[in-house]
Amino acid sequence: MTHNTPLSPRPLHHLAAGPGRVLTTAQLRSHGVTAAETDEQCRPGGPWQRILPGVVLLRPTPPTSEERLRAVLLYTVRERTGAAPGGEPAPGVPAQPGPGGAGTEPAEAMITGLAALTLHGVAGAPPLPSLAVLDVLVPRLRRLRSTGCARVIRTAALPEAETVTGIPVAPVARALADAVAGLTDAASVRRLLTEAVRGGHCEPTAVVRELRRARVLSRPHVVDAVDSLVAEGRALAEERLYRMVAEYGLPDPVWNVDLRLPGGPHLGGLDAYWPEQAVAVELDTRAHRQDDDALWARYARKREHLERLGITVVHLTPRKLRDCPEHQAAVVRTALMAAADREPAAYVVVLPR
């Protein structure tokens, strides 16, 4: 017996009655179903249908959204012998693209783009039945072609997949970038980016980083959407900062102020400032665009100038405020308590921003 010899055959109706109604032709062979039998079952008017090359739905009615998702993932399967469903010669029992359940290997492919955003629950993403094609992310060297309902997107390095309803899905920021790359409507792009951040699915910095990698950041309608995204991200970060001060019992600062030397130059704006202790909080809401280095240099110069004047600057990021507000509150409280042991700061003028 060779590794190509079918295992004990099962009645075909037994397969169709099982929970896994979407199978590759290699999986069917492992159940004792020959290629000729598969062709016969998939004939026009037959009980089965081919959804994608090498992928069969064991009933004639239209596939559900979940079945289409699984079919797209099975299309990317590597097989140990013969050719993979997508036409790639590969090393037949297929090596599954990792449905993402506990104890499975890392996914070799994952759903991305609009379908992934829908699975993540991002407001404004279209319902799965309305999507004619489903984006699937695969390693760059995979020789797969887009066909039918499967649109292949290649990447030099796969991100770590997240499992949603048993389906391996790209992280939201990556899915957004892949979705935006195929969109031309400015309102749709702006809505998706804003809702993803507003819903707490990801941070603006992560989104902009992925948009840059996808080389779509320079498109005019994307630039406008990113400006709205940064504004949304700053508003959320400020809200988290207000909440942190209130929930962890910090003394009230003055909010959103500018500092100036008496009769002198402008020292910069701050998100929160405690004048008696000369402690300032500054939120880093940079979007990591192409001018990031220059912007960070300005941040650093301002911080150095303030600290030379005896003002302690606490630098917080939106992600830290979201993930560990208690720790960030402790950092601010420590800075306030340490003020008593420092030399008095230079006198500065505090103005509303």
90, 78 in Cβ contact below 8 A?
yes
Instruction: Single out the residue of 254, 253, 180, 192 nearest to residue 220, CA to CA.
Output: 180
CB burial of 248-270 (b: ≥16 within 10 Å; e: otherwise) equals eebeebebebbbeeeeeeebbeb
Task: List 164's β-bridge partners, or say none.
Answer: 167
Give CA 176 to chain center in angstroms: 7
Distance CA 273, CA 258 (A): 9
Give CA 73 to chain center in angstroms: 18
Q: What is the pLDDT of residue 336?
A: 95
Q: What is the pLDDT of residue 263?
A: 84
DSSP 83: B
Distance CA 301, CA 284 (A): 14
Distance CA 348, CA 266 (A): 10
DSSP 2: -
Q: What is the pLDDT of residue 148?
A: 94
Give CA 139 to chain center in angstroms: 17
Residue with tokens 């009615």: 61
The token pair at 272 is 């929160």
Helix, strand, coil percent values for the chain (each to nearest 5): 40, 20, 40
Q: Would you write out the chain's pLDDT as a tens digit for each of its 353 residues?
A: 444 544 444 555 556 555 568 999 999 999 899 999 999 999 999 999 999 999 999 999 999 999 999 999 999 986 543 444 554 433 333 444 444 444 446 678 999 999 999 999 999 999 999 999 999 999 998 889 999 999 999 999 899 999 999 999 999 999 999 999 999 888 999 999 999 988 889 888 889 889 999 999 888 889 888 888 888 888 888 999 999 999 999 999 999 999 999 987 888 899 999 999 999 999 887 655 545 566 667 777 888 889 999 999 999 988 889 889 999 999 999 999 998 888 888 899 999 98
Superfamily of segment(s) 237-352: VSR Endonuclease (3.40.960.10)
Helices (H), 90-181: 113-120, 172-180
Helix pair angle (204-213, 186-198), 10° resolution:
140
Q: What is the pLDDT of residue 87?
A: 46
Please state the pTM of the whole predicted model.
0.74
